[in-house]
Homo-oligomer: A and B are copies of this chain.
Amino acid sequence: MQAVAAAPGKSPPRRVGRARLTTADSLGRTGLDLFIKYGFDHVTVEDIAEAEGIGRRTFFRYFSSKNDLPWGDFDGLLLRMRSRLAQAPAETPLFDALRESVVDFNRFPHDEVPFLRQRMTVLLTTPTLVAHSALRYQAWRRVVAEFVAERLGVARDSHMAITLGQVCLGISLSAYEEWLVDDSLVLADLISGGFHDVRAVFAY
């Protein structure tokens, strides 16, 4: 199901105990395929477990809920975003630092784009997942807010920091929404354009 060797730096293969039957990655792809094929609401956890050859109970040891499956390794995404923000030179204005970080965060290798498209289609068009994703977005916004807070020398829960976290997320989501309906658009351009659109309206 997945021939990829364990990436270096990951947890080393267990030394003792029964070997795992699968991986979160493999299970995630199996589930996502089923969601795309039959629709999220028409696939039960039992269906996914059966397709992967594991028990229903075991499914919940890889993903804490059915809703969590499509996001995959979200903690990795958060690290990715943090690293993009950290790369911004201190002399770059905050607007540009945020814009460039968000744009870079959403750059993916060409061969991963079709998969990203599938994943985001499921995430943004399934009501259950639109709702659940709000919890994930909270964590992403916090990363942005912490960066803003540090840059401006204010508290990480200050109004300014929280607000800019919200705004960056909003710009990202609207870009994705647009991107999903038009194959020919480039995600990075849409995000950058969103930042400039907001500037155009807010600084009339």
Residues on A lying within 8 angstroms of B by beta carbon are 93-95, 98, 127, 130-135, 138, 157, 159-160, 162-167, 169-171, 173-175, 177-178, 181, 190, 193-195, 197-199, 201-204
Contacts and interface: CB of A to CB of B under 8 A. Distances in A.
A163 B171 contact: yes
A64 B148 CA distance: 40
B174 A163 contact: yes
User: What is the total number of copies of this protein in its complex?
Assistant: 2
Contact of A166 (B157, B159, B173): B173
The 6 closest A-B pairs by CB, nearest first: A203-B203, A166-B170, A134-B134, A163-B174, A162-B174, A131-B131
B159 A201 contact: no
Contacts of A98: 201
A138 B134 contact: no
A167 B198 contact: yes
A201 B145 CA distance: 13
Contact of A159 (B127, B134, B170, B193): B193
A93 B204 contact: yes
Contacts of A167: 167, 170-171, 198
